[in-house]
């Protein structure tokens, strides 16, 4: 069968290319701010963009069926990569994240996002009739927790947080019963509500009722109650066993304003950068926060603030719209696929992308704690960009062939 | 079944879309809030981030001698600044910087930066880097992004020349901060001497400008649209001092402890004021280390002391001109009043010796000065009484502060009957106190600058002039000179005949057959004066010489004090002669040059 360019989902293609272009401009600006006359990191990003385009086109060209066929193999390779990082990896900033690959180094945790998704999607699509079985859901959880744990011990907290969000969305999309999802939420709910007894009791009761209504059985209710009670009562005890400095670190993570010269410094400078951009921005290369380096991590985690300062609300809403297009067209594609593997993979890709993008964006505008998650397509970094281009290629490949399966 | 499946699928699709839309909507609203609604607030914050008010220090006023030669100037020096927050992140960098700035191990990290480690504003780490510190810093500066150099003006003195009199500048203290309204922490202010007294004139007025700085506080550019206010340069001090005379005086004091004051008899201007031992005032303008400071303070010779104005000594025989003036003016003796000196004098059960064992025999006033007969003055003292001695000193402003423009001037001591009654209760005043003070020993105390003003008054014969260092304050911006109004000359209230007699006595000290300073005879410049020896209970006596020149038409007066010098004639007189001779010759040279210039046709 012959495919033409027009058979692709052009909206997705345009959004991906648009975001990569924004990334290049923003990197030019932060490169300029670094005072690098050779624009070292801009040129690197440019080269990676070119390689990324090739990777994306390769990923489109490969028949989508192959992803399904080799999903488990890819999953295993991803796990091996993560283990290799821990064994032979090179340290950077106190964490092992890199594998030397000759000319450049590769961050295994980035590519593992795609391989994990493929593995989980393959597993869920292999048991279409057992979606409502708890063992299927738990196996999917296990398949996700394994790479996530490996990323967490590197340690790379920001990247590891993408895994549970992706898993949750994938399970929801694949048709897992509501009570499975609620059961997965139980530990988080328990930790969050255990600070306030009233809130804790009310939430606990509400959760148990919904779980019962959803499952019509008592075992899940007992299970959920067990999790809620054990974790909910253990949290305050564990908290008191922490050293004061550990408590302080957790508090400043949740509430950075309590440490205005430390973690809040980044946040405050980021908000100033974005806010001072105004409606139209200060102009390309004219952002004082960025160019005078008041904005820390301007080319990686806080690149959106640099963009927002120089291009204003018009620029930031442009980027938000591009992500929104990816989200809408991706979900739309997932809902059209008859093949469960493709549907789940497409939904997983979109959830992963949106989860990571929103985590970063909410962080830069001061709505989420600073975790160190790069902004897909835009933040400086080869591994991240190449992985996202490849993932986009997979999504575009599916948009080309979804009718065939 | 099929439709049910579709139904649950569409619920799923819609819940994804709705949750996604809510999240994106929240983000959009947040961006709208920050960038559109609160835009101005954040713009102001970003402006205050990058604009920094920079004070422009005005150049401190220079000082010139009476011929316009520079005595004190400024020179550029390098100060190392650092942003504590930035430096603190890299302990290895701190160690490198510590080594480059030649600080004791760990000093920079623990003493300087640690207390300010959360501060983003740059702070001064070390002033006035030496050449080796500067080059060591340049080598490592790439590895220490938080540190940078600034050029600042540093006070530059002519070596140790006139150190005591000029004073020095140093970082403002907490007490001074409260006293001076427009001085900020870290500013340099005058601490002693002229630097202190004329500090407000020398300081000038700070300017200000706004600069664009980066996150490290490093200046990137000057803000163009914000107004710059230029500093007003400090005013110049024009001194009466003569550099040549000052240098000569100091060279003559080398390896001795003592003081020299030379004055222009015509104006009261101080031509030279030297104190020995001395110190280098420049060390205070940088960061003085504790060891240097303690060494200065604990030196038994007290190099920081300005002996010309801050130390009191008994005047010894140099008081005798004042005594004679008072005797003649009070009418209690006449120029022909005579005594017989057997070499000693007895009051009650105490015997006072004359310095000449065999005695001077028949002594009249002129002879009493020339030969410095002590018995003559014992008897004169008994004749005029203790209050007469007090008045004798008062006529010439001895035993009281002169008001010279120096810090911490000592007053001296001029006893009266009331003083003795107060001091020696219950026995109180007895006539037995008089002989000692009549020859300037015991409880009469003067400073070298008082003695110089005294002999200058005698030289001009009519009035006492206030000694002073600064003649005028010159404003370099307005190119205008403001002369300082010193105290009006105080008449001596003595008849010309009596003064002439006293002056003749001082001439004979040098030129008479029995004079105590006969070795200072010089045909080129005729000097007159008086030697003195101040008894010192702690060791060898101090040597005095006060004099003026030329005798016929005096222009210069000089006072020399050499601690432990024993004899005024040998230790002090040659120094005074050298100084006065040099000044008179320089003046004559200047006059003949002027005369030539006038005579030469153009």
Interface contact B41, partner A, CB < 8 A: yes
Whose tokens are 């075992």? That residue is: A219
Residue in chain B nearest A289 by alpha carbon: B46
Residue in chain A nearest B44 by alpha carbon: A276
| pLDDT the model gives residue A300 | 86
Give the residue from A331, A369, A294 showing the smallest Cα distance to A170. Answer: A331
A/B interface, count of CB pairs below 8 Å? 113
| pLDDT the model gives residue B5 | 47
**What are the b/e assignments for A317-342, b being 16+ CB within 10 Å?**
bebbebbbbbbbbbbbbbbebebbbb
The CATH H-level (homologous superfamily) assignment of domain B243-284+292-592 is DD-peptidase/beta-lactamase superfamily (3.40.710.10)
Phi-psi region of B106 (alpha: psi -120 to 50; beta: other; left: phi over 0): left
At A366, phi and psi to the nearest 5? 80, 25
**What are the b/e assignments for B327-355, b being 16+ CB within 10 Å?**
bbbeeebeeebebebebebebeeeebebe
pLDDT per residue as tens, chain A (405 positions):
567 777 889 999 999 999 999 999 999 998 887 765 667 789 989 999 999 999 999 999 999 999 999 999 999 999 998 888 888 766 554 555 666 554 445 688 889 999 999 999 999 999 888 888 889 999 999 999 999 999 888 777 778 889 999 999 999 999 888 899 999 999 888 888 888 889 999 999 999 999 999 888 898 899 999 999 998 888 888 888 887 777 777 777 777 666 665 667 788 889 999 999 999 999 998 888 888 878 877 888 899 999 999 999 999 999 999 999 999 999 999 999 999 999 999 999 999 999 999 999 999 998 888 778 899 999 998 889 999 999 999 999 999 998 887
What lies within 8 Å, CB to CB, of A240 at 6+ separation is none
End-to-end CA distance of chain A: 13
| pLDDT the model gives residue A96 | 59
Task: Please state whether beta strands B188-190 and B169-171 pair in parallel, antiparallel, or not at all (unpaired).
Answer: antiparallel
Give me the residues paired with residue B124 across strands.
B81
pLDDT per residue as tens digits for the range B60-105 = 999 999 999 999 999 888 888 887 877 887 888 899 999 999 888 8
Which DSSP state fits B433?
A: G
Interface contact B201, partner A, CB < 8 A: no
| pLDDT the model gives residue A166 | 94
Give the residue from B99, B135, B120, B131 showing the smallest Cα distance to B52. Answer: B120
Give the residue from B126, B128, B100, B93 showing the smallest Cα distance to B112. Answer: B126
Chain B residues touching A313 at Cβ < 8 A: 31-32, 35-36
Rounded (10°) angle between helices A263-276 and B39-50: 120
Interface contact B38, partner A, CB < 8 A: yes
| In A175-218, alpha helices (H) | 178-193, 197-215
Name the percent of chain B in helix, strand, coil, to the closest 5.
45, 20, 35
CB B62 within 8 A of CB B220: no
Using CB atoms, which residue from A312, A313, A320 is nearest to B27? A320
Task: Please state whether beta strands A90-92 and B528-534 pair in parallel, antiparallel, or not at all (unpaired).
Answer: unpaired
Distance from CA of A24 to the nearest CA of B (A): 22
- Tell how far CA B240 is from the center of its chain: 15
Rounded (10°) angle between helices B2-32 and A303-336: 170
pLDDT per residue as tens digits for the range B373-406 = 999 999 999 999 999 999 999 999 999 999 999 9
Q: Under an 8 A CB cutoff, do B118 and A261 touch?
A: yes
Q: Under an 8 A CB cutoff, do B31 and A169 touch?
A: no
Integer Cα distance of A153 and A373 in angstroms: 16
Q: What SS3 state is found at A96?
A: strand
Name the percent of chain A in helix, strand, coil, to the closest 5.
75, 5, 20
Mutate to test the interface with B, among A132, A166, A262, A272 (most CBs of B within 10 A): A272
Interface contact B14, partner A, CB < 8 A: no
| pLDDT the model gives residue B286 | 58
Integer Cα distance of A379 and A301 in angstroms: 6
Mutate to test the interface with B, among A288, A317, A340 (most CBs of B within 10 A): A288
Interface contact B214, partner A, CB < 8 A: yes
Chain A residues touching B19 at Cβ < 8 A: none
DSSP track, B549-569: E-SSS--EEEEEEETT---II
Which DSSP state fits B316?
A: G
Burial of B539 (0-12, 13-18, 19+ CB in 10 A): exposed
- Strand runs (DSSP E) across B270-387, as ranges? 270-276, 339-341, 344-347, 350-353, 361-363
| pLDDT the model gives residue B2 | 35
Residue in chain A nearest B18 by alpha carbon: A328
Distance from CA of A334 to the nearest CA of B (A): 9
Ranges of chain B with pLDDT below 70: 1-7, 52, 118-122, 215-219, 222-226, 285-289, 599-602
Whose tokens are 């970094």? That residue is: A381
CB A82 within 8 A of CB A147: yes
Sign of the CA dihedral running B296, B299, B303, B305: positive
Residue in chain B nearest A327 by alpha carbon: B20
- What CATH fold (topology level) applies to the domain B53-237? Penicillin-binding protein 2a (Domain 2) (3.90.1310)
Integer Cα distance of B292 and A197 in angstroms: 67
CB B84 within 8 A of CB B117: yes
What lies within 8 Å, CB to CB, of A315 at 6+ separation is A277, A281, A307, A308
Residue in chain A nearest B10 by alpha carbon: A335
| pLDDT the model gives residue A132 | 84
What lies within 8 Å, CB to CB, of B363 at 6+ separation is B338, B339, B340, B341, B371, B373, B375, B376
* CA-angle at B399, arms to B397 and B404, nearest 5°: 65
Give the residue from A175, A260, A182 showing the smallest Cα distance to A227. Answer: A182
Q: Under an 8 A CB cutoff, do A327 and B24 touch?
A: yes
Give the residue from B381, B391, B368, B393 showing the smallest Cα distance to B504. Answer: B368
What lies within 8 Å, CB to CB, of A224 at 6+ separation is A179, A182, A183, A186, A207, A208, A211
Q: What residues does each domain of chain B span? A: 2-37, 53-237, 243-284+292-592
Residue in chain A nearest B120 by alpha carbon: A261
CA distances from B222 to A34, A175, A315, B212, B218 (A): 20, 63, 29, 6, 11
Chain A residues touching B225 at Cβ < 8 A: none
Sign of the CA dihedral running B232, B238, B244, B249: negative
Integer Cα distance of B151 and A281 in angstroms: 37
Question: Which H or E run contains B125?
Answer: strand B123-126
Integer Cα distance of B476 and B70 in angstroms: 14
CB A107 within 8 A of CB A98: yes
What lies within 8 Å, CB to CB, of B116 at 6+ separation is B84, B123
Q: What SS3 state is found at A129?
A: helix
Integer Cα distance of B440 and B312 in angstroms: 12
């Amino acid at each position: 069968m012959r495919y033409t360019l027009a058979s692709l989902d052009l909206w997705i293609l345009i959004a991906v290319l648009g975001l990569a272009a924004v990334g290049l401009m923003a990197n030019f600006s932060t490169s300029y701010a670094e005072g690098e006359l050779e624009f070292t990191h801009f040129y690197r990003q440019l080269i990676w963009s070119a390689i990324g385009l090739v990777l994306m086109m390769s990923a489109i060209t490969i028949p989508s069926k192959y992803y399904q066929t080799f999903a488990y193999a890819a999953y295993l390779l991803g796990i091996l990569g993560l283990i290799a990082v821990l064994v032979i990896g090179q340290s950077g900033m106190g964490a092992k994240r890199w594998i030397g690959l000759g000319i450049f180094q590769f961050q295994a945790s980035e590519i593992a996002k795609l391989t994990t998704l493929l593995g989980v999607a393959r597993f869920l699509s292999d048991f279409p009739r057992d979606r409502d079985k708890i063992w299927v859901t738990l196996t999917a959880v296990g398949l996700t927790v394994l790479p996530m744990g490996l990323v967490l011990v590197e340690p790379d907290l920001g990247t590891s947080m993408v895994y549970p969000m992706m898993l949750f969305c994938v399970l929801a999309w694949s048709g897992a019963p509501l009570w499975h999802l609620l059961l997965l939420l139980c530990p988080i709910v328990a930790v969050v509500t255990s600070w306030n007894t009233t809130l804790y009791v009310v939430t606990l009761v509400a959760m148990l009722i919904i779980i019962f209504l959803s499952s019509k059985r008592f075992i899940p209710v007992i299970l959920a109650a067990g999790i809620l009670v054990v974790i909910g009562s253990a949290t305050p005890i564990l908290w008191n066993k922490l050293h004061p400095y550990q408590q302080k670190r957790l508090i400043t993570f949740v509430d950075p304003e309590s440490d205005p010269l430390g973690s809040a410094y980044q946040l405050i400078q980021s908000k100033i950068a974005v806010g001072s951009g105004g409606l139209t921005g200060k102009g390309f290369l004219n952002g004082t926060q960025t160019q005078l380096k008041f904005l820390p991590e301007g080319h990686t985690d806080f690149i959106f603030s640099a963009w927002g300062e120089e291009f204003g609300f018009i620029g930031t809403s442009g980027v938000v719209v591009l992500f929104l297009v990816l989200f809408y067209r991706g979900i739309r594609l997932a809902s059209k696929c008859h093949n469960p593997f493709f549907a789940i993979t497409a939904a997983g890709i979109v959830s992963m992308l949106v989860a990571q993008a929103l985590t970063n964006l909410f962080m830069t505008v001061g709505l989420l704690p600073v975790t160190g998650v790069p902004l897909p397509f835009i933040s400086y970094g080869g591994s991240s960009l190449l992985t996202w281009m490849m993932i986009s290629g997979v999504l575009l490949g599916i948009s080309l062939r979804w009718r065939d399966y | 079944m099929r439709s049910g499946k579709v139904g649950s699928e569409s619920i799923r699709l819609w819940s994804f879309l709705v949750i996604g839309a809510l999240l994106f909507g929240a983000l959009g609203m947040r961006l709208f809030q920050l960038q559109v609604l609160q835009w101005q607030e954040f713009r102001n914050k970003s402006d205050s981030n990058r604009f920094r008010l920079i004070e422009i220090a005005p150049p401190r006023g220079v000082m010139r001698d009476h011929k316009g030669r520079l005595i004190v100037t400024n020179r550029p020096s390098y100060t190392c600044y650092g942003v504590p927050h930035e430096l603190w992140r890299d302990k290895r960098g701190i160690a490198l910087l510590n080594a480059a700035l030649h600080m004791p191990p760990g000093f920079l990290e623990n003493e300087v930066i640690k207390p300010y480690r959360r501060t983003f504003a740059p702070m001064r780490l070390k002033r006035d880097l030496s050449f080796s510190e500067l080059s060591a810093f340049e080598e490592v500066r790439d590895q220490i992004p938080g540190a940078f150099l600034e050029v600042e003006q540093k006070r530059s003195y002519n070596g140790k020349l006139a150190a005591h009199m000029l004073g020095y500048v140093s970082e403002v203290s907490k007490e001074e901060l409260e006293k001076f309204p427009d001085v900020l922490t870290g500013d340099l202010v005058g601490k002693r001497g002229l630097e202190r007294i004329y500090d407000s004139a020398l300081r000038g007025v700070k300017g200000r400008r706004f600069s664009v700085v980066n996150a490290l506080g490093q200046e990137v550019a000057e803000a163009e649209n914000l107004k710059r206010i230029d500093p007003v340069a400090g005013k110049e001090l024009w001194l009466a001092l003569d550099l040549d005379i000052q240098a000569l005086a100091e060279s003559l004091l080398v390896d001795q402890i003592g003081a020299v004051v030379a004055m222009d008899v015509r104006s009261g201007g101080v031509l030279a004021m030297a104190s020995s031992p001395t110190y280098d005032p420049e060390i205070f303008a940088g960061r003085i280390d504790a060891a240097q400071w303690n060494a200065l303070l604990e030196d038994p010779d007290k190099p920081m002391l300005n002996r010309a104005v801050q130390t009191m000594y008994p005047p010894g025989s140099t008081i005798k001109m004042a005594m004679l003036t008072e005797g003649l003016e009070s009418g209690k003796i006449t120029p022909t009043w005579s005594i017989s000196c057997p070499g000693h004098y007895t009051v009650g059960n105490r015997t006072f010796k004359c310095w000449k064992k065999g005695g001077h025999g028949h002594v009249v006033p002129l002879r009493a000065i020339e030969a410095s007969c002590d018995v003559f003055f014992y008897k004169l003292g008994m004749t005029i009484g203790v209050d007469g001695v007090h008045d004798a000193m008062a006529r010439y402003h001895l035993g009281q502060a002169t008001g010279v423009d120096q810090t911490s001037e000592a007053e001296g001591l001029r006893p009266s009957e009331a003083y003795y009654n107060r001091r020696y209760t219950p026995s109180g005043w007895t006539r037995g106190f008089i002989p000692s003070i009549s020859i300037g020993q015991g409880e009469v105390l003067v400073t070298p600058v008082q003695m110089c003003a005294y002999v200058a008054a005698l030289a001009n014969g009519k009035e006492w002039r206030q000694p002073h260092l600064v003649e005028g304050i010159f404003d370099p911006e307005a190119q205008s000179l403001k002369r300082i109004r010193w105290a009006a000359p105080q008449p001596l209230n003595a008849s010309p005949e009596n003064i002439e007699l006293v002056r003749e006595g001082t001439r004979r000290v040098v030129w008479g057959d029995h004079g105590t300073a006969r070795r200072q005879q010089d045909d080129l410049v005729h000097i007159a004066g008086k030697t003195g020896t101040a008894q010192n209970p702690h060791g060898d006596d101090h040597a005095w010489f006060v004099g003026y020149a030329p005798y016929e038409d005096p222009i210069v007066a000089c006072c020399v004090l050499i601690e432990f010098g024993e004899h005024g004639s040998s230790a002090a007189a040659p120094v005074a002669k050298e100084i006065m001779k040099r000044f008179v010759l320089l003046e004559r040279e200047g006059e003949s040059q002027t005369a030539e210039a006038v005579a030469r046709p153009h």
